[in-house]
Amino acid sequence: MKVLKMVFIAGVIGFLGCHRTTYPLLPPSDVESISSDNEIILLWSDVDNPHVVSYRIYRSDRPYGYFELIDEVTTNSYVDRDVVNGTTYYYALSSVDEYGNESDLTSYPIFDTPRPERHNQRVFSYSYSHDTLGYSGYLLSEFTPVRMDEGDFYFTYENGVPMIICAPSTYIQDLGETEDLTDINWAPEDGWTQGRVQAFSGHSYVIWTQDNHFAQIRILSITDEYMLFDVAYQTDPGNHELSISKSKTLIIRKTGR
């Protein structure tokens, strides 16, 4: 049977029944979440209290209402693999001391939408192959190379300069050098260019497709023959989430397990 406990930002209403403490028991701080492929990674700062022995992770499919306890850990990180790409999940955390006392939940539920990704994708230069030796276009929703005029973008050279050329009504912007796919957390609201951009190795590009999906490609290398890249694609239409989530301050309730 689940034990119901209502937790508000301003205080606690519930059935504690635990050892009284003389020290403040605070929830974890600096909580972040990272979108990945069929998983969400949670990271936070340890509570500066020698009596804290574990952290409880709560989750919901809504940004308010009841959050259900899904796990308890002794580290300051957690990987939730019980998720589906393109679905948004909301989290809140608490800390637990050696007597079983539990803090309030974090006052800012963290939300994230995992997205699929692929690595070491290759498209050939249209100027090199003319689509006879290999496809130069790429279809993001299928993670597959296609012919030049069948994808969301294609790769080619113009006057010796490597270029990414977008399909009609598809927008793109260069967000500069990055280390990996998790460096770009949110597709920008503005700054979009329709048409073409120069391709640079080590740069990440965010793409807004004509059917209202957001994606990121990070170029690994460029040769005269092909472009090699990693790609992340948000399957939830209109969702800008690509990596680390934003947070909101809300009133939430939780259920025990």
| pLDDT at 61 (0 to 100) | 92
Cα gap 60→254, rounded to integer Å: 9
Core vs surface per residue 80-112: b (16+ CB within 10 A) or e: beebebbebbbbbbbbbbeeebbbbbbbbbbbb
Q: What is the pLDDT of residue 49?
A: 94
3-state helix, strand, coil in the chain (%, to 5): 5, 50, 45
The Cα 116–Cα 233 span in angstroms is 6
Q: Where are the domains of the chain?
A: 4-115+243-255, 117-233
- Look at residue 243 in the predicted model and tell me its pLDDT: 72
Burial bucket for residue 56 (CB in 10 Å: 0-12, 13-18, 19+): buried
**pLDDT score of 217:** 98
Rounded to whole angstroms, the Cα distance separating 80 from 102 reads 21
β-strands 193-194, 161-166 pairing: unpaired
Phi, psi of 126 (to 5 degrees): -65, -35
Q: Which residue ranges in the chain fall short of pLDDT 70?
A: 1-22, 130-134, 244-257
pLDDT reported for residue 20: 61
Q: Which CATH superfamily is domain 4-115+243-255 in?
A: Immunoglobulins (2.60.40.10)
What is the bridge-based pairing of β-strands 252-255 and 65-73? Answer: parallel
- What tokens were used for 115? 């997205």
Element (H, E) at 7: strand 4-8
Distance of alpha carbon 247 from alpha carbon 43, whole angstroms: 14
Q: Using a cut of 0.85, tell me whether the model's pTM lies above it.
A: no
Predicted pLDDT at 51: 95
Token reading at 146: 């296609």
Strands 203-208 and 196-198, sheet pairing: unpaired
How far is residue 254's CA from residue 213's CA, in Å, rounded to a whole number? 33
pLDDT at 255: 54
